[in-house]
Structure 1
Amino acid sequence: MKAYNNTTYSILGILTTGCKSGYDIKQLMDQSLTHFWKISYGQIYPTLKQLTENELVTVTNTSQDGKPDRKEYNLTQKGMDALKNWLTQPVEQLPVERNEVLLKLFFGRHQLAEQTLMQLEDYKSKLEQRLQTYHMIAQSIQTHHENDPDSKYWLFTLDYGKRITSSAIEWCQATIESI
C-alpha cells in the first residue's frame, strides 16, 4: 500500500466525520485540529485531487442555487483501508515544538530582565486564553456531540491540549518567580 504524508491521512480522517467539501474540511480544521495540526486551503485541494486520482475518494458535483457547483468528496473502501492501515502504524517521531518565547528566553541574558518578564507574562496570558478556549470546546462537544462515537476521542485530544497548556502556564509562573 502506498504511503502518504500525515496531512493526507488527516483529510481521509476528516472525511469520516461527515465533512464533504474542501470548505467543510477547512472549517473542521480551523475549529478543532488547528490546535495540533494545521492545514491550509493550499494543501487541501491538491491533496483531494491526489486522493481522487488514487481512488481513495470519489468526487461528485452538487448543484447549488445561484452558486457554482459544490464538489463533495466521499471516502472509498480503499481510502478507509489506507486510513486504518496508517492508524495502526507506530508514531515515527516525537513532535518538535518551535516556540519563540523559549528561543528568546534562551538568549535572555542579552535583554533587560523587565523585557523578559513582560514577554513571559504576555505568553502566560495567551496560554490562559487558549486554556479557556479548550474548556469552551470541551463543553460544546459534551453538549452537542454527546452521542457521537467520535466525541470521546475528540475529548482525549482536547485533554492533551488542556494538560500541556496548564503545565506551560505553571512553567511561566515558576520562571517569572525565578527571574
Structure 2
Amino acid sequence: MSLQYALLGFLNYQPMTGYELKQTMDVSTSNFWHAKQSQIYTTLKKMEGAGLVISQVEAQDGRPDRRVYEITDYGRAQLHTWLAEPLTELQPHKELLLLKLFFAVPLDKQTLLTQLRLQRDLHQRQAAIYRNETKAILQKLADSNPELEKDILLWEATRRFGEMFEEMNINWLDETITMIEAKF
C-alpha cells in the first residue's frame, strides 16, 4: 500500500512513465523505499482502476509507445490524507545481517570476521555516496530550482538520515568486529 503513496508522491510533481518512476525512485528514495519495476507497473494498474491516476499512451517515432501516468484530483486528495496521518507506531525493521549474526556460533572466527568486514566495506561505500554524490545532486537541484526549496530541505533530511544510518552501521560493525576478535 505504501508503494502506491510513493508513486502518487512522484506523480504529484509531474506525469511519468513506469520506467521513469523506477529511475526516479532509484536516485531519490532507494535508501529507505524501493520497488521492483514489476511492482511499480502492477501498482500503477491498480491505482488507475481505483481512479488515483490516469494514463495516456504516447506514440514515439521508431520506438515502442509509452504509457504516461498522471495523478488525478482524487489521487492528490488521497496523497494529502495519507501524508497528514500521523505514524503512531514504530515501523518493523528486518535486518538479514543481524539474523545471521544471532545464529552464527557454528561459524569459525575468521569466516564471521570476513563477513562483518565485508558489510563494513559496503556501508562505507554507501556512506560515501550519501556524503558526496547524493549531496551534490541535491545541491545542483537547489541551485537550479529555487521553487523546490522546501522539497529540497526535506530531501536533504532523508539524505542525512541515510548518511547517519550508514555511520551508525559502521560504528556498530567496528565495535562488533573488535569484540569478536577479542572474545570469540
TM-score for both structures, normalised by structure 1: 0.90
> In the alignment, which of 16, 23, 30 is matched to residue 34 of structure 1?
30
Is the CA contact 1:101–1:119 (under 8 Å) kept in the aligned structure 2?
Answer: no
Measured in 2, the distance between the counterparts of 1:92 and 1:47 equals 26
Structure 1 CA distance, aligned partners of 2:100 and 2:40?
33
Cα offset, 1:81, TM superposition: 0.5
Equivalent residue, structure 2, for 1:175: 176
- Answer yes or no: is the 8 Å Cα contact 1:61–1:69 preserved in 2: yes
1:94 maps to a residue whose letter is L
The superposition leaves residues 85-127 of structure 1 with CA deviations (integer Å, 9 ceiling, x where unpaired) of 0001122542333222212221232221222111111110000
2-structure distance, mates of 1:121, 1:61: 49
- Equivalenced residue count is 175
Residue identity opposite 1:141 in structure 2:
L
Matched-pair contact (CA < 8 Å) for 1:19–1:25: no
Rounded to whole Å, the distance in 2 between the matches of 1:19 and 1:177 is 50
Partner of 2:93: 97
Amino acid at match of 1:98: K
Shift of residue 144, structure 1, vs aligned partner? 3.0
Q: 1:57, 1:75 within 8 Å by CA — same for their partners in 2? A: yes
What TM-score does the superposition give when structure 2 sets the normalisation length?
Answer: 0.87
The question of whether the paired residues in 1 share the 8 Å contact of 2:15 and 2:71 is answered with no
Moved more, 55-64 or 24-33: 55-64
Quick check: 1:140 aligned with 2:137? yes
Structure 1 residue 50 corresponds to structure 2 residue 46: yes
How far the C-alpha of 1:19 sits from its partner, in A, is 4.8
In the alignment, what sits opposite 1:73?
Answer: 69
Q: CA deviation at 1:167?
A: 0.7
Question: Residue in 2 aligned with 1:166?
Answer: 167
CA distance in 2: counterparts of 1:100 and 1:49, whole angstroms = 31
CA RMSD of aligned residues (A): 1.6
**In the alignment, does 2:125 pair up with 1:124?**
no
Structure 1 partner of 2:9: 13
Q: Which moved more, 1:166-175 or 1:87-96?
A: 87-96
Structure 2 counterpart SS, 1:55: coil
- 4+ residue runs of structure 1 moved beyond 3 angstroms? none
Q: Counterparts of 2:96 and 2:47 in 1: how far apart (Å)?
A: 35
Cα distance in 2 for partners of 1:101, 1:47 equals 30
